[in-house]
Amino acid sequence: MIQDMTYEEIVARISHLLEQEKTNGIQVILEELQPYDIAEIYVMLSEEQRPKFLDVLETEQQASLIEEIDRDEQLELVEQINVNDLGEVLDLMDNDDLAHLLDEVTPDVKEQYLSGMTTEESTAVQKLMEYEAETAGRIMTNRYVWIPEQYTVRETVDKIKIFAEIAESINYIYVINNEKQLMGVVSYRDLILAEMDEKIADIMFSRVISVPVEMDQEEVASIIERYDFLAIPVVEENNVLVGIITVDDIIDVVIQEANEDIEKLSATGKSIDFDTKVWVASYRRLPWLVLLLFVGLISGSIISQFEETLQKVVALSFFMPLISGMTGNTGTQSLAVVVRGIVGQEMNKAVVTRLILREFGVGALIGITCSILLFIIAYVWQGSLVLSFVVSSSLVFTLIIGTLAGTIIPLLLSKLKVDPAIASGPLITTLNDILSLLIYFKIATVFLHHLL
């Protein structure tokens, strides 16, 4: 019984059957497996057995294998598929996955792949590829069920039976008029509960929530999340239905966007995971670090301008890491709140003002609390009232400024539609570094004669 076998056992069995050329036995196993499982098994097979295994797969299984496998191995796999079958395989692939694949090949190869496909599918995928990356148009599929307004429940159910196998989602059936405009939606559940002779127009839900093709995928995700939908229709101008986005793609979007936010906050560099090679990971991480190096030099040159002050009161340097560290962190805290909160939130004047005032309040409150604490500790440690005053009053200012920088800069960048990746953690941190050192040494210089 296949259901209790591990991948290793299944691979051993399939490998054995491949050697004996018992392809029927393999299909019996495959029928009990999910596309993801088949992909896992494929990569566990030896290089020699993989092409043989591919031959055993049905066209549809080949299509979903391509979809499931890691991006790096996709092209290699596609090349191993029989050229005569390839068009049919590509026809069966989800358009969004296929668009990704076609993005990676040369124009010649792309042309060759498209030429093997049916006109309908190749037109659809080429249209998809015209939309900007990370928009609704780019992640939608054309595998949905639509019906004309005048259908009855019976006619609808009959149509679903025909399309059940190829539709990506049969949870919602979209109702359109002669101009292909989206007029309503019926859930499968509604159909089950309706009488066969009822008119769709009478049972459909006409306040359909849809998204425009150009909407950012992150916004689409937040709408689906909010409404708990399994799919959402995508419309062009004039409410013309052009596709649907299904919830499984939305989960991928949510993960991708969260990773992007984390990359912004930690300046990790794009998509580094456990399997990324040393060279690639270093190359992706270096740009930020080199930038940091230069910003660190700016901090250094600020300190060097106060060389005299520092030479006279070396104790000032003891508190440098504390002040710049805390200012940097408070900025990152604010940044994280803004970066995560900004999505799906309408950023009108009232919201922005309230947020800035809130963060100002937070900066002041934590600034005052930490300052009092620091004043006491610094006095106990160094025994100088003036030094303690300089250090702790600097901290109040820098924490307020740090909080505001971490709030206002990402808001400003998002308002200016600048790539918010610029507003990443290290930028805020180093900016706050520079500001905090300036404030600290300015205050110290003013009180210098008292410190001596």
CA distance 337 to 333: 7
For the CB of residue 85, give the shortest distance to a copy of itself in the complex, in Å: 24
Q: Is residue 437 part of the contact set for a copy of itself (CB under 8 A)? A: yes
**Do 326 and 395 meet the contact criterion of CB atoms below 8 Å apart?**
yes
Task: Answer yes or no whether residue 51 interacts with a copy of itself by CB under 8 A.
Answer: no
Rounded to whole angstroms, the Cα distance separating 397 from 446 reads 15
The region that residue 425 occupies, defined by phi over 0 for left and psi between -120 and 50 for alpha, beta otherwise, is alpha
**Phi and psi torsions of 131, nearest 5°:** -75, 155
By the rule CB under 8 A, 38 interacts with a copy of itself: no
- Asked if residue 240 binds a copy of itself (CB under 8 A), the reply is no
Residue 418 Cβ vs a copy of itself, minimum distance, rounded to whole Å:
21
Task: Write out the two tokens for 76.
Answer: 């290699």
234 - beta bridge partners? 211, 243
Residue 301 within binding range of a copy of itself, rule CB under 8 A: yes
Q: Of residues 326-385, which lie at the interface with a copy of itself (CB under 8 A)?
A: 326, 329-330, 332-333, 335-337, 339-341, 345, 351, 354-355, 358, 361-362, 365-366, 369-370, 373-374, 377, 381
Q: Does 438 bind a copy of itself (CB under 8 A)?
A: no
Tokens (6 digits) for 179: 């101009």
**Can you tell me which of 19, 73, 248, 419 binds a copy of itself, judged by CB under 8 A?**
248
Angle of CA points 185, 191, 197, to nearest 5°: 105
What residues pair up with 232 in beta bridges, in sequence order?
245
Of 12-20, 98-106, 112-120, 317-325, the segment contacting a copy of itself by CB under 8 A is 317-325
Those residues whose C-beta lies under 8 Å from the C-beta of residue 336, and which sit 6 or more positions away, are 265
43 binds a copy of itself (CB under 8 A): no
Q: Which of 91, 121, 218, 261 touches a copy of itself by CB under 8 A?
A: 261
Q: Does the footprint of a copy of itself cover residue 218 (CB under 8 A)?
A: no
322: its two tokens: 């504390």
Say whether residue 6 binds a copy of itself (CB under 8 A). no
Site for a copy of itself in 386-405 (CB under 8 A): 399
Antiparallel, parallel or unpaired: β 231-236 and 240-246: antiparallel
- Least distance CB 41 / a copy of itself (angstroms): 13
Please identify, using beta-carbon distances, which residue of 133 and 258 lies nearer to a copy of itself. Answer: 258
Q: 230, 240, 386, 443: which one contacts a copy of itself (CB under 8 A)?
A: 230
Residues between 138 and 167 that touch a copy of itself (CB under 8 A): 160-161, 164-165
For 15-24, b/e burial (b = at least 16 CB within 10 A) is: bebbeeeeee
Helix and strand element counts for the chain (H, E) = 24, 6
Minimum separation from the CB atom of position 451 to a copy of itself (A): 15
109 vs 230, which CB is nearer to a copy of itself?
Answer: 230
Closest CA to 428 of 321, 319, 333: 333
Site for a copy of itself in 263-292 (CB under 8 A): 263, 265-269, 272-274, 276-279, 281-282, 285-286, 288-290, 292
**Could you tell me if 288 and 267 are in contact, meaning their C-beta atoms sit under 8 angstroms apart?**
yes
Q: Which is nearer to a copy of itself, 130 or 251 (CB)?
A: 251
Instruction: Quote the distance between the C-alpha of residue 244 and its chain's center.
Output: 19
Total number of residues binding a copy of itself (CB under 8 A)? 119
Question: Which residue type, as a one-letter code, is found at position 284?
Answer: R
